[in-house]
Structure 1
Amino acid sequence: MNCKNIPLERLRSESALTNPYIYRISELYDQRGIEDVSRHHRLNFSALIYITEGVGQHYIDHQRQQIRAGTLLTLGKNQIHAFAKNRTVDGFVMPFNCTFLADSKHDPYFDSIIAALVQINCIHAVSDDVDALLRVMANEFFSDSEFRAEIIRSLLRSILLKTIVPEYKTKANLTQNDRSALSARFHSNISSSDFYRLKNYIDEHFNLRPSVVEIALSMGKSVKQLDKLSKDNAGISVKELLDERVLIEAKRQLAFSQYSIADIAAQLGFNEATNMTKFFKRHTDVSPKDFRQLCRMGLKQK
């Protein structure tokens, strides 16, 4: 692997696509070693981390999260994270593939869960009922029930719908019209996979900087339909969704890779490094160089 690049972690086997597994945090440190678990790496899957004891820190993208017993961390596909070098907490880690969450082709909540996974990464103190659900789910991994996978899926969905999804809706600051559209969508029979398809398309092609027209054509939608789809699920337009993905990747590469700013600009589809600098400053009020320097001084803390 190129030493400049960010290490990528994949699910341990294809069977994990439909049968998730679970680790104790202490087990991960023992099995993989401190250097491995504390190295910033990108996930090719999603994960849930629940802290059951202790106080410490965890790193997600360029943010340092303060964690303690009762903290729930969630990670979406392509996010970068690392455990602390000194283990001061314990709990459990559940890696899973996003498609595991869908309970049917017409799951009305799937898109909201997927959107929330990469936007809301930390619930600092879950409620008692969520804590109970988390512990029941952890125990279910050791069950010999023939319904084990479905029970885990239902519990995981319930946990995410009670924690990160409501916070994501609030953070998105949706208008009343958007909320009405979301409500109508939740009670419709239209497949909820379209927003997931849109997110996947952007994830796979954002570095080519496709236009909204190109994205719409690839998905067999009109620009108006696609913008409505994006606003109904994320509260922003497709162009803003694409810019958001480019921006977070720029931040990840600046924080964790050794590529030059010019190389990062080229990877992200900018014709010139100065164009990326203008884009980055417009969205963050700081230059890529200053952002990288801040990250080198120590990961930014919320």
Structure 2
Amino acid sequence: MRGKDEKARSAHRATHGIPNYAMYGDNAPAGGSNMFNFEWIPERSPLYDWKIDPHEHQSLIQILMMTRGEGDALLEHAHWSLRAPALVVVPAGNVHGFEFTPQVDGVVVTAAQKPLEAMAQIVMPELLSTLRKPLAINLPEHGRTTDGLMPVFLSIEREWRLAAAGQVAAGLSLITSLLVQIARLNETLEPAAWPMHSRKSRQLEKFRDLIDEHMRERWNVSQYAQQLGITAGQLTRLSRESVGKSSNDIINERVIVEAQRELIYTNSSIKQIADGLGFEDESYFGRFFRKHVGISPQNYRAQELERLSRA
């Protein structure tokens, strides 16, 4: 996995496309009905000779905890050497790959990113940063926060295998709890222990932060680029090289996530949601929503509330 330069990866993505999977080796589904998944690293990795080639999950976040062994992780434009205990967070849309030693053990949780972001927005908005920033880190062998991670992973496994009523609600709640534990690492570990992000990663993180701040003002790409100190063209290239999407796609996806959250978790009318998100009128918002989600805001609200009532 080592030795590939950034230009080669970018060129491959531009001409051939990065494989997009639900789980590695499985074709990505058209919908996102499977909210979360749990598996142990040795369940899948030996099938591929312990090497997971670069790929992405467009709508899923993955959280990996390595409890034994060593390996290498590719996360966007950087490689990291992993030594257990190690933690990796791969937000949706981030290219990643792994190469493990055969003695490796650990767990992988995969979950739908948008519902987790919607929950975080309500219960702990600062979790959005943890959800959206790639992370690869070797943890201290012992410590309150490190020791507290594995029991949460095992609780997620029990819920995954239970297949009982309320599984989705309980599973996503446990994954939110896991994300809280990961966020606490930022407070307990020395800054030098965290991986240094590339300049492109820092710019992309700043872009996402600006979207959170100004999406209700319906800023265009040029306005975001100006705040970042780059041109609109440079921002578009940054977006495509980093996550394989245009700048407009990233902006619109964030607006859709917020619209979905408000449709599900508030009693606001469609007109109020449209106004709050900076749309000129309800009809324009409806066309925008249908274009990106495939159904009208009204039908989406009814569908999701019905699904949640059965969870």
Give the TM interval when normalised to the shorter protein. Answer: 0.5 to 0.7
Residue of structure 1 in register with 2:176 after alignment: 157
Residue of structure 2 in register with 1:9 after alignment: 20
Change (3 A) 1:244 1:116: farther
Residue of structure 2 in register with 1:95 after alignment: 110
TM-score normalized by the length of structure 2 = 0.51
Residue of structure 1 in register with 2:148 after alignment: 129
By relative contact order (CA 8 Å, sep 6+), the higher-ranking structure is: 1
What SS class does the counterpart of residue 36 from structure 2 fall into?
coil
Q: CA deviation at 1:154?
A: 1.3
Question: Residue 66 of structure 2 contacts residue 85 of structure 2 at CA under 8 Å; is this kept in 1?
Answer: yes
Change (3 A) 1:248 1:165: farther
Matches of 2:179 and 2:236 in 1, distance apart? 22
Question: Residue 70 of structure 1 contacts residue 131 of structure 1 at CA under 8 Å; is this kept in 2?
Answer: no
Q: CA deviation at 1:79?
A: 0.9
Residue of structure 2 in register with 1:139 after alignment: 158
Q: CA deviation at 1:14?
A: 5.5
Residue of structure 2 in register with 1:42 after alignment: 56
Q: CA deviation at 1:10?
A: 3.2
What SS class does the counterpart of residue 67 from structure 1 fall into?
strand
Question: Residue 74 of structure 2 contacts residue 98 of structure 2 at CA under 8 Å; is this kept in 1?
Answer: yes
- Answer yes or no: is 1:212 the counterpart of 2:231: no
Matches of 1:70 and 1:244 in 2, distance apart? 36
Select between 244-253 and 67-76 the one with higher mean Cα deviation: 244-253
Question: Residue 89 of structure 2 contacts residue 134 of structure 2 at CA under 8 Å; is this kept in 1?
Answer: yes
Task: State which of 23, 27, 38 in structure 2 corresponds to 1:22.
Answer: 38
Question: Residue 61 of structure 2 contacts residue 110 of structure 2 at CA under 8 Å; is this kept in 1?
Answer: yes
Question: Residue 43 of structure 1 contacts residue 77 of structure 1 at CA under 8 Å; is this kept in 2?
Answer: yes
1:233-252 paired onto structure 2 within 5 Å:
239=228, 246-247=237-238, 249-250=240-241
Q: Which runs of 5+ in 1 are unaligned?
A: 172-193, 203-208, 216-236, 254-266, 270-302
- Answer yes or no: is 1:66 the counterpart of 2:81: yes
Change (3 A) 1:97 1:39: same
- Answer yes or no: is 1:195 the counterpart of 2:206: no
- Answer yes or no: is 1:167 the counterpart of 2:167: no
Change (3 A) 1:152 1:69: farther
Matches of 1:105 and 1:90 in 2, distance apart? 29
Change (3 A) 1:86 1:128: closer
Matches of 1:117 and 1:105 in 2, distance apart? 9
Residue of structure 2 in register with 1:189 after alignment: none
Aligned pairs, how many?
A: 202
- Answer yes or no: is 1:79 the counterpart of 2:94: yes
Change (3 A) 1:106 1:91: closer
TM-score normalized by the length of structure 1 = 0.53
Change (3 A) 1:34 1:249: farther
Q: CA deviation at 1:198?
A: 4.5
Question: Residue 123 of structure 1 contacts residue 164 of structure 1 at CA under 8 Å; is this kept in 2?
Answer: no
Change (3 A) 1:210 1:161: same
